[in-house]
Structure 1
Amino acid sequence: MAGNLKVFVLMAALTALVVGLGWMLGGSGGAVIALVIAGGMNLFSYWNSDKMVLRQQGAIQLSPSQGGDLFAMTARLAQRAGMPMPKLYLLPTEQPNAFATGRNPQNSAVAVTQGLLNHLSADEIEGVIAHELAHIQHRDTLTMTITATMAGAIAMMGNMMLFAGNREGRGGPLGGILAMILAPLAAMMVQMAISRAREYEADATGARICGKPRALASALARISQAAGRSVNLPAERNPASAAMFIVNPLHALRADRLFTTHPPTEERIARLMAMAPAAERPTAPSRIPRSGGPRTPWGRG
């Protein structure tokens, strides 16, 4: 409940930023127009965001026969979570990672990278899938889509302020410059705060769904280490999508890492380990056999 309240407050802050910039651009009429435009953008995103993101990432949908063990694992976890089976997609990149998208559990998708299948154990992959199902169950995919859309609108309006501020007499040139710089920065900070709050919740719920908090913690450690060593080109070309992945997919050398969309991996791991029963001991990792993994356009995973 506290997490949901925090998200509500942060969403209200984004809305206030949109209205405030609209007022600076055109008074009370501008505020109303800005709110209407933001609403229209959100409505478009509501219906089309999943297709847009999957297309940007080069995702390929897997059928039950192509998905093999991965498809069966996802179906089993979805049933355990009491939700419909999402569509399953493969991302042709060697960086281990995954994300979920869709406006609701009935219209959702889980996408995993080829690197995730190649480098993680079966238990770790199960933890990752459970984490993504938790995002769908909490409707985080819709929340993050709306916040990303509003953040984009705020950035666009901030740029407009540079030229409109002096003419309308609301802030002058200095106000326009400050709005151009500070408004997008504030929107980014709010977006980061929402994403971080939802990641902790998805970790906890995902651990309960799969019943293996240690496996999810191990997966986070492996993915985090690999993300700093490999490049996810589709994500690099579309950095706004970074918040959707289980671990920030942007390369460690990018300046984007200064404003990471995810909470510290070490903290996430510590919380998951605290959920594990005291008597639980790590077991030797079992891997999805290459000969039995999902058949993809590049061969079996």
Structure 2
Amino acid sequence: MNHLKTFTLLAALTALFGGLGYMLGGPTGMLIALVIAGGMNLFSYWNADKIVLRMYRAQPVDENHPNAVVRTYVADIVQMARDASMPRPAIAIIPNDQPNAFATGRNPQNAAVCATTGLLDMLTREEIRGVMAHELAHVRNRDTLTMTVTATIAGAIAALANFALFFGGGDDRERPGGIIGTLALMILAPMAAGLVQMAISRAREYEADRVGAEIAGDPQALASALQKIEAYSKRIVNMTAERNPASGQLFIINPLAGRGADNLFSTHPATGNRVRALMDLGAKMGFRTPPPVSPVASPGPVSTSVPTTPSRPAGPWG
């Protein structure tokens, strides 16, 4: 089923990319766009992990890291992957104050899981285990290829649509729609690409929550982690994600400031809904329901300048 989803999604995005090329340059433009899209698909398939890891300046880590928290982080991921009968993924940390995490790679044999330094700083060991188990679930479910490739192509569609603003329209009779059609497509194409991304994204997150909770053996820890991550993500801006919004779907919680609604245009389910599903799973697994988590004070206004670290428990990053 995941292979079918990947094929369908790539086909839809490729067709959209070709359609945008047709609007900009007629049949010739469509042919060029399809060739580019095909090349991007192949490139993304073989380099899915490298693309995103480089974008976020991920740093590989292992059991010999000088920081004890990082060593524990690595050891827990290795142990959970072994218990889940999965290949050991590449493990990295991202120098970013916003607590978050993602997984990438074309298959379980070529996967990487990453946490930000903010995540290791602000969450407990049990919560970090829950988050990374969620990412291992994405790897086991083979979601990582879908997430990374669609983020790459959707970003390219948005870039091509912006290109249309400056070079589209005019009197070229080979270009359908003229300036009005080009401007309409410039607006609608990124929206359509986003809708294709979102079509399977939210269901995928719920499934990764469920499988991740089973891998870690503690649904409540993951539920607590989700609430903390959401609260801090509204206070600490992830500038790399803001510059590359198509990559936002990769993270466990949307890293783009102020976007948490559970609606048609959200790549992530509402955190409250995810928490309730996890608490229901915990009850089935025999966990007693704890009191609601209140990890931080009201997030307050979102910063649009250099991110600053809010008051938080002391951690290994200063």
TM bucket, shorter chain: 0.7 to 0.9
The number of equivalent residue pairs is 286
- 8 Å contact from structure 1 (residues 232, 250) kept in 2: yes
Partner of 2:18: 19
Question: Residue deviations 1:36-79, cap 9 Å, x none?
Answer: 21010122222333223222222221121214221111011101
CA distance in 1, matches of 2:213, 2:53: 26
Determine if the alignment matches structure 1 residue 221 to structure 2 residue 220. no
Q: Which has the higher helix share?
A: 1
Tell me which moved more, 32-41 or 165-174. Answer: 165-174
Contact kept? 1:231, 1:250, Cα under 8 Å: yes
Matched residue, 2:43: 44
Q: CA deviation at 1:186?
A: 1.1
Matched with 2:207 is 201
In structure 1, what is the equivalent of residue 287 of structure 2? Answer: 280
Question: Residue 69 of structure 1 aligns with which residue?
Answer: 72
Task: Tell me the residue number matched to 1:212.
Answer: 218
In 2 relative to 1, CA 267–124 (structure 1 residues): closer, same or farther, beyond 3 Å? same
Deviates more, 1:165-174 or 1:115-124: 165-174
Give the Cα–Cα distance (whole angstroms) in 2 for the partners of residues 240 and 30 of structure 1.
24
1 CA distance for matches of 2:45 and 2:7? Answer: 18
1:299 CA drift (Å): 5.7
CA RMSD of aligned residues (A): 2.9
- Distance in 1 (CA, whole Å) between partners of 2:273 and 2:82 is 29
1:252 and 1:53 map into 2 onto residues whose CA distance is 23
Q: CA deviation at 1:274?
A: 1.8
Match for residue 120 of structure 2? 117
Return 5+ residue gaps in structure 1 as ranges: 286-297
2: CA distance, partners of 1:212 / 1:253: 27
Contact 1:127/1:212 (8 A) holds in 2: yes
Letter in structure 2 aligned against 1:48: N
Shift of 1:106: 1.3
- Between the aligned partners of 2:241 and 2:159, the Cα distance in structure 1 is 21
SS of aligned partner of 1:269 = helix
Partner of 1:266: 272
TM-score, length basis structure 2: 0.79
- Map residues 82-231 of structure 1 onto 2, 5 A cutoff: 82-159=85-162, 161=164, 163-165=167-169, 166-167=171-172, 168-231=174-237
Partner of residue 308, structure 2? none
Partner of 1:288: none
SS of aligned partner of 1:65: coil
Gaps of 5+ in 2: 294-314
The AA in structure 2 aligned to 1:236 is E
Amino acid in structure 2 at the alignment position of 1:108 = A
Return closer, same or farther for 1:230/1:258 CA change in 2, 3 Å cut-off: farther
Mapped contact 2:77–2:132 kept (Cα < 8 A): yes
TM-score, normalised to structure 1, is 0.83
Tell me the SS of whatever aligns to 1:101.
strand
Deviation at 1:266, TM superposition (A): 1.1
Paired residue type of 1:207: A
Which structure is higher in RCO with an 8 Å CA cutoff and minimum separation 6?
Answer: 1
Measured in 2, the distance between the counterparts of 1:8 and 1:42 equals: 11
Partners of 1:197 and 1:20 in 2: CA distance: 28
Displacement of 1:120 in angstroms is 1.4
Residue equivalent to 2:54? 55
1:240 alignment counterpart:
246
| Post-superposition CA distance 1:61-99 (Å, at most 9, x none) | 112121422111101110122211111111222221111
Aligned mates of 2:231, 2:317 — CA distance in 1: 24
- Aligned amino acid, residue 55 of structure 2: Q
Q: Distance in 1 between matches of 2:215 and 2:126?
A: 13
Cα distance in 1 for residues equivalent to 2:181 and 2:317: 57
